């Protein structure tokens, strides 16, 4: 640690608790003066002292600390403690050390951050004090990770000025606002891609909510010295506890890479018991004499399916209802009539593509393209499942027919890889092309947005997943963020085909019928993702997995997951969140359809 800092700190306090540098980021240059083009290399630190928490910057004496920086107008400037240009008069090292500052975070009013424009320049921040003092801008060699600041202060992006981040009062209310403000700005992921620095800086305030609710309120109110000291001690204890548990690297010089772990204390996970699958007998007990489902008991029935799935022999009947092919309120005779007319409708659409000759295809590229894709994928869908084994298997033809007819039914969407994964279990259960087709139509109603060209819905789900992980397991969320994995794309396959590739064929059937109930919340699929990720936290973190290893590990979980455990954990997480709904940010309640936002 820099001696300058030591001197500064010893002047400021007779430490009862020794000062502790909780974060030090080297490669931070200060502009020598407003009108100067000279930059002084140094390091920024966050230091806990008995009298408070300080942000400090000091010049670096290290001759190796020099680096080349591009200014906003694209010029390259050498940041060096040694004279770079012969003949140009340099300021004395004295003027450098005068730049050093130590600022109590409670005196910080706001900071302005500037991102490189179109790759030119480098990220910089300017700290502004409550008394109006504005410090010289600090230029970062690498995008800093100052997440830790959020332990001490609450940050909020100015409504008027994008680059201005305000320090707001330590009130949970203000925090909640900050969270919703972030969301108004829309897709955090895409903003992060364009603007990593600003997003990181404002993103901190999200987490703060939870520290604030649980830990800080009693600590931040008082300003007298004794309680200040208690406050620091308590915060440090908190942090040290986290550190011990979680091996945080505190004195990280690796470009300021640093994890801070904060937690909304969710209630303990309740014990969840899964039930046996719903049998024909149980299913029939919910039926009225005309074959409709008793609407009074419909929720009860869905919960039964959610808790245990459906007995295999009942699937053929039950899936039709779960997928909306048969309405819950449709009588036997009504459905039979509809079924006949829909089967005719299926045959009509099937005849359309069947009648297109090879010669026509040559001048019908869009059709030929879709057909080629279907053929390629049918040949390699679930071929290890006995139902689809063998080269002349008629079930392959049936699957092909269903998918081709769907191309005619929804030509704009066409065929997209992944659809054959959705269709094959339906055919396996229905054993009838027309029924399979209409069930597939029902399933695509729920999932077609996954296949849209812009992939926006997948991105949205990834963002929602990240937000949920942030709440359920912030330590993992922070780890993923610091390992370039918080876009969650390693879960792409899970979300795209609803875990079809992760579980055995029969387990997939069970998982899907559970999800189709829409219980206990519409986004239960994402909670299943959260449950699995949560269970893999130690493996990911203890092995220090990076982006590639995380993807590989997640892919390799395929066929090694235990469905009942996963469902149990996901349901338990739902209950945890549901019990904490008054503390959850609004968008989370929205995903889960709980709290005030809930619609029946």
Cβ burial of 291 (10 Å; 0-12, 13-18, 19+) is middle
Choose, by CB under 8 A, the member of 67, 306, 406, 479 that binds other proteins. Answer: 67
CA dihedral 237, 219, 205, 177 (to 10 degrees): 150
- Please list the alpha-helical segments (H only) found in 155-253: 172-184, 188-194, 196-214, 217-220, 225-246
Choose, by CB under 8 A, the member of 1, 70, 272, 521 that binds other proteins. Answer: 70
Smallest distance from other proteins to CB 353, Å? 20
CA torsion sign for 171, 177, 179, 185 is: negative
CA angle 316, 318, 322 (to 5 degrees): 120
Going by their DSSP bridges, the two strands 28-31 and 101-104 should be labelled as: unpaired
C-alpha 539/C-alpha 536 separation (Å) is 5
Determine the interface stretch with other proteins among 202-210, 475-483, 486-494, 563-571 (rule: CB under 8 A). 486-494
Q: Which is nearer to other proteins, 561 or 573 (CB)?
A: 561
- CA–CA distances in Å: residue 500 to residues 326, 452, 504, 509: 24, 19, 8, 9
Q: Which is nearer to other proteins, 269 or 383 (CB)?
A: 383
Determine the interface stretch with other proteins among 115-123, 212-220, 231-239, 339-347 (rule: CB under 8 A). 115-123
Q: Does 160 bind other proteins (CB under 8 A)?
A: no
Burial 87-106 (b: 16+ CB within 10 A, else e): eeeeeeeeebeebbbbbbbb
Q: Does 497 bind other proteins (CB under 8 A)?
A: yes
C-alpha 48/C-alpha 236 separation (Å) is 8
Smallest distance from other proteins to CB 555, Å? 6
Q: Does 504 bind other proteins (CB under 8 A)?
A: no
Q: Which is nearer to other proteins, 64 or 184 (CB)?
A: 64
Q: Does 489 bind other proteins (CB under 8 A)?
A: yes
Smallest distance from other proteins to CB 540, Å? 14
Q: Does 255 bind other proteins (CB under 8 A)?
A: no
Count residues near other proteins (CB under 8 A).
46
Q: Does 82 bind other proteins (CB under 8 A)?
A: no
Smallest distance from other proteins to CB 523, Å? 20
Q: Which is nearer to other proteins, 293 or 444 (CB)?
A: 444
Written as six digits, the tokens of 267 are 């209630």
Q: How many residues does the chain have?
A: 600
Smallest distance from other proteins to CB 561, Å? 16
Smallest distance from other proteins to CB 418, Å? 6
Choose, by CB under 8 A, the member of 13, 20, 66, 279 that binds other proteins. Answer: 66
Q: Which is nearer to other proteins, 414 or 585 (CB)?
A: 414
Q: Which is nearer to other proteins, 380 or 560 (CB)?
A: 380
φ, ψ (nearest 5 deg) of residue 25:
-115, 110
- CA–CA distances in Å: residue 384 to residues 380, 381, 389, 391: 9, 8, 6, 12
C-alpha 140/C-alpha 256 separation (Å) is 11
Residues between 532 and 551 with contacts to other proteins, criterion CB under 8 A: 548, 551
Q: Which is nearer to other proteins, 354 or 376 (CB)?
A: 376
Q: Which is nearer to other proteins, 236 or 448 (CB)?
A: 448
Q: Which is nearer to other proteins, 75 or 336 (CB)?
A: 75
CA atoms within a 13 Å half-sphere pointing along the CA-CB vector of 30: 21
SS3 109: strand
Smallest distance from other proteins to CB 407, Å? 14
φ, ψ (nearest 5 deg) of residue 29:
-100, 140
Q: Which is nearer to other proteins, 160 or 362 (CB)?
A: 362
| Contact mark string toward other proteins, 449..478, x via CB under 8 A | --x-xxx-----------------------
Choose, by CB under 8 A, the member of 236, 501, 575, 587 that binds other proteins. Answer: 501
Instruction: State the angle between helix axes of 394-409 and 419-430 in degrees (0 to 180), rounded to the nearest 10.
Output: 120
The H or E element that residue 168 is part of is: strand 164-168
Residues between 369 and 428 with contacts to other proteins, criterion CB under 8 A: 372-373, 376-377, 379-384, 416-418, 420-421
DSSP state at residue 504: -
Smallest distance from other proteins to CB 145, Å? 16
Residues between 554 and 573 with contacts to other proteins, criterion CB under 8 A: 555
Smallest distance from other proteins to CB 236, Å? 33
C-alpha 7/C-alpha 2 separation (Å) is 9
Q: Which is nearer to other proteins, 176 or 379 (CB)?
A: 379
Q: Which is nearer to other proteins, 472 or 491 (CB)?
A: 491
182 CB-near residues (< 8 Å, 6+ apart): 157, 188, 202, 203, 205, 206
C-alpha 573/C-alpha 124 separation (Å) is 40
φ, ψ (nearest 5 deg) of residue 117:
-95, 125
DSSP state at residue 287: B
Whether residue 66 contacts residue 80, with contact meaning beta carbons closer than 8 Å, is answered with yes
| Contact mark string toward other proteins, 118..157, x via CB under 8 A | -xxxx------------------xx---------------
Q: Does 189 bind other proteins (CB under 8 A)?
A: no
Smallest distance from other proteins to CB 552, Å? 4
Q: Which is nearer to other proteins, 131 or 454 (CB)?
A: 454
Choose, by CB under 8 A, the member of 22, 43, 46, 69 that binds other proteins. Answer: 69
Judged by the rule CB under 8 A, the positions of this chain that interact with other proteins are 64-70, 74, 76, 116, 119-122, 141-142, 372-373, 376-377, 379-384, 416-418, 420-421, 451, 453-455, 489-490, 492-493, 496-497, 501, 548, 551-552, 555
């Amino acid at each position: 640690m820099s001696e300058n800092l030591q001197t500064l700190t010893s002047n400021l306090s007779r430490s009862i608790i020794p000062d502790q540098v909780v974060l030090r980021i080297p490669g931070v240059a200060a502009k020598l003066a407003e009108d100067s083009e000279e930059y002084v290399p140094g390091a920024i630190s966050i230091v806990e002292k008995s009298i408070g928490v300080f942000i400090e910057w000091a010049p670096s004496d290290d001759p190796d600390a020099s680096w080349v920086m591009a200014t906003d107008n694209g010029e390259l400037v050498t940041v060096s403690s040694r004279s770079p240009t012969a003949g140009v008069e340099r300021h004395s090292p004295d003027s450098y050390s005068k730049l050093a500052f130590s600022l109590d975070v409670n005196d910080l009013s706001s900071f302005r951050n500037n991102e490189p424009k179109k790759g030119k320049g480098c990220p910089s921040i300017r700290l502004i004090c409550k008394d109006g003092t504005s410090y010289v801008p600090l230029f970062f060699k690498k995008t800093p990770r100052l997440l830790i600041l959020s332990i001490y202060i609450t940050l909020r992006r100015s409504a008027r000025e994008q680059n201005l981040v305000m320090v707001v009062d330590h009130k949970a209310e203000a925090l909640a606002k900050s969270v919703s403000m972030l969301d108004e700005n829309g897709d955090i992921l895409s903003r992060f891609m364009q603007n990593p620095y600003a997003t990181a800086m404002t993103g901190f305030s999200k987490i703060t909510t939870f520290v604030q609710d649980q830990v800080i309120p009693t600590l931040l109110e008082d300003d007298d010295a004794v309680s200040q000291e208690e406050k620091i001690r308590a915060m440090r204890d908190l942090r040290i506890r986290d550190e011990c548990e979680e091996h945080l690297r505190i004195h990280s010089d690796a470009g300021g890479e640093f994890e801070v772990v904060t937690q909304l204390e969710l209630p303990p996970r309740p014990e969840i018991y899964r039930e046996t699958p719903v049998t024909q007998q149980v299913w029939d007990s919910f039926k009225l004499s005309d074959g409709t489902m008793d609407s009074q008991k419909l929720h009860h029935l869905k919960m039964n399916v959610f808790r245990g799935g459906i007995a295999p022999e009942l699937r053929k009947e039950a899936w039709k209802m779960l997928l909306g092919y048969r309405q819950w309120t449709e009588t036997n005779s009504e459905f039979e009539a509809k079924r006949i007319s829909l089967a005719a409708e299926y045959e009509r659409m099937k005849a359309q593509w069947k009648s297109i000759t090879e010669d026509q295809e040559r001048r019908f590229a869009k059709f030929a393209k879709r057909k080629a894709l279907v053929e390629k994928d049918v040949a390699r869908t679930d071929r290890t499942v006995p139902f689809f084994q063998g080269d002349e298997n008629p079930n392959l033809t049936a699957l092909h027919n269903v998918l081709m007819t769907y191309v005619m039914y929804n030509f704009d969407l066409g065929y997209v890889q992944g659809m054959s994964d959705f269709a094959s279990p339906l055919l396996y259960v229905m054993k009838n092309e027309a029924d399979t087709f209409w069930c597939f139509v029902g399933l695509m109603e729920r999932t077609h947005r996954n296949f849209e060209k812009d992939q926006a819905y997948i991105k949205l789900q990834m963002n929602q997943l990240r937000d949920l992980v942030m709440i359920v397991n912030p330590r993992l969320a922070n780890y993923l963020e610091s390992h370039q994995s918080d876009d969650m794309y390693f879960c792409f396959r899970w979300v795209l085909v609803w875990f079809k590739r992760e579980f055995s064929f029969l387990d997939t059937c069970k998982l899907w019928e559970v999800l189709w109930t829409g219980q206990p919340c519409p986004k239960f699929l994402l909670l299943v993702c959260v449950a699995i990720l949560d269970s893999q936290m130690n493996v990911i973190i203890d092995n220090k997995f990076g982006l590639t290893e995380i993807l590989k590990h997640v892919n390799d979980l395929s066929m090694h997951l235990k469905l009942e455990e996963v469902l149990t954990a996901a349901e338990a997480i739902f209950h945890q969140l549901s019990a904490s709904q008054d503390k959850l940010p609004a968008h989370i309640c929205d995903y889960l359809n709980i709290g005030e936002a809930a619609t029946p």
